[in-house]
Amino acid sequence: MREGADRYGAGTSSVRFICGTFDVHRELEDRIADFLETEAAITFTSCWNANGGLFAPLLDEQDALISDELNHASIIDGIRLCKAQRHIYKHMDMDSLRDALENSQAARHRLVMTDGVFSMEGEIAPLPEIRELCDQYDAIMTVDDSHATGVLGDTGRGTPEHFGMHGEIDIITSTLGKALGGMAGGLVASSREVIEYLVQRSRTQLFTNAIPPHSAAGALAAIDHLEAHPELVTRLRENTAYFREKLTALGYSPIEGDTPIVPVIVGETADAIALSTKLLDEGVFVIGFGFPVVPHGSARIRAQISAAHTREHLDRALGALDRVGRELGIL
């Protein structure tokens, strides 16, 4: 990042198509396409903007956009900016998706959109089943892999790698603001045609400054680092399995899953906030979520496990969860 700032300065002072495209943007986009095993990629200043600028250029009134009901807010707003007919299917429910595909057969094109990993539950979307339905009903399959890029799969290539589905997802969106360095930036990776079309037509990229070059340089370094150190992904998986197992042994019931997002439902918002406040007093930073971020009655704390955690860190957190859970009568 520092080298990027020294070489290119603080920012582009321009949108991409005027004079805001630097070598580092092109290098990053090539690198992302390589990493995600697609033909091409385009970057945005955030994944919010990637999802916001994806649908409207590709689809219009004659088309159908089919979306999981728990998709991320940026997808919901991206859909609002697009004139396609809207179909919302029940969360990860393949019968409901099939109905939506069936009901949209009159549309010119159908695009199915899902989070790869749902951020509040940590669940992994059933990509093989979605792919099968998309093939059966001639639909474009699109995955927001923000919570999986750099996290899932043996080398951190996300949900497609997790399921052994390299190259089988038509369009991938993701963020550079989580596992790939935690700075800022978003991306769409797809076929060359889709990406060239977005370069020409995606308004959330066309009419705003590019990612600051130091962030682009940082994201490039993050991908290099991840490729050179797949053991980070292994450690993350081991840490997650350890934390989930010990948490369950204490008497908590985390939502089951394999991702480093470990939510524990406690019910009322006040209980979730009390638990997270007391954990913070013990030096453990686990945020509580209540309505409207999650439905009424399903307030939760959400632990996020990292490859940087040592066993000592995890044991200390588990010790605090044990003490505080008893104190509050949650255990």
Ligand X SMILES: Cc1ncc(COP(=O)(O)O)c(C=O)c1O
* 320, 282 contact by CB (below 8 A): yes
In the complex, what is the shortest distance from the CB of residue 204 to ligand X, in angstroms, rounded to a whole number?
Answer: 11
CB of 226 or CB of 321, closer to ligand X: 226
In the complex, what is the shortest distance from the CB of residue 213 to ligand X, in angstroms, rounded to a whole number?
Answer: 17
- Distance separating alpha carbons of residues 266 and 42, to the nearest angstrom: 40
Other Cβ atoms within 10 Å of 83 Cβ, number: 13
Among 12, 43, 46, 269, binds ligand X (CB under 6 A): 46
Query: Does the annotation mark 119 as catalytic?
Result: yes
Other Cβ atoms within 10 Å of 138 Cβ, number: 10
72 in contact with ligand X (CB under 6 A)? yes
CB of 63 or CB of 68, closer to ligand X: 68
In the complex, what is the shortest distance from the CB of residue 144 to ligand X, in angstroms, rounded to a whole number?
Answer: 5
* Footprint (CB under 6 A) of ligand X, residues 147-166: 147
302 in contact with ligand X (CB under 6 A)? no
β pairing state of 64-68 and 85-89: parallel
Task: Give the range of 40-48, 94-102, 266-274, 308-316 binding ligand X by CB under 6 A.
Answer: 40-48
175 in contact with ligand X (CB under 6 A)? yes
Which amino acid is it at 143? V
Q: Which of 202, 151, 194 lies closest to 169, judged by CA?
A: 194
Task: Give the range of 8-16, 45-53, 191-199, 277-285 binding ligand X by CB under 6 A.
Answer: 45-53
- What 8-state DSSP symbol labels residue 16? I
Task: Give the range of 42-50, 95-103, 214-222, 266-274 binding ligand X by CB under 6 A.
Answer: 42-50
144 in contact with ligand X (CB under 6 A)? yes
Among 1, 36, 47, 79, binds ligand X (CB under 6 A): 47
Number of residues located near ligand X, criterion CB under 6 A? 14
115 in contact with ligand X (CB under 6 A)? yes
For residue 187, the cross-strand partners are 43, 174
Residue 296: how many CA atoms within 13 Å on its side-chain side?
0
Residue 208: how many CA atoms within 13 Å on its side-chain side?
15
- Distance separating alpha carbons of residues 32 and 181, to the nearest angstrom: 13
Other Cβ atoms within 10 Å of 17 Cβ, number: 13
25 alpha-carbon distance from chain centroid: 21
CB of 88 or CB of 274, closer to ligand X: 88
- Distance separating alpha carbons of residues 261 and 109, to the nearest angstrom: 34
Task: Tell me which of 147, 162, 214, 309 is the catalytic residue.
Answer: 147
Other Cβ atoms within 10 Å of 137 Cβ, number: 17
In the complex, what is the shortest distance from the CB of residue 25 to ligand X, in angstroms, rounded to a whole number?
Answer: 16
Q: Indicate which residues carry an active-site annotation.
A: 119, 147, 178
User: Which residues are near ligand X by CB under 6 A?
Assistant: 46-48, 51, 72, 74, 115, 119, 144, 146-147, 175, 177, 186
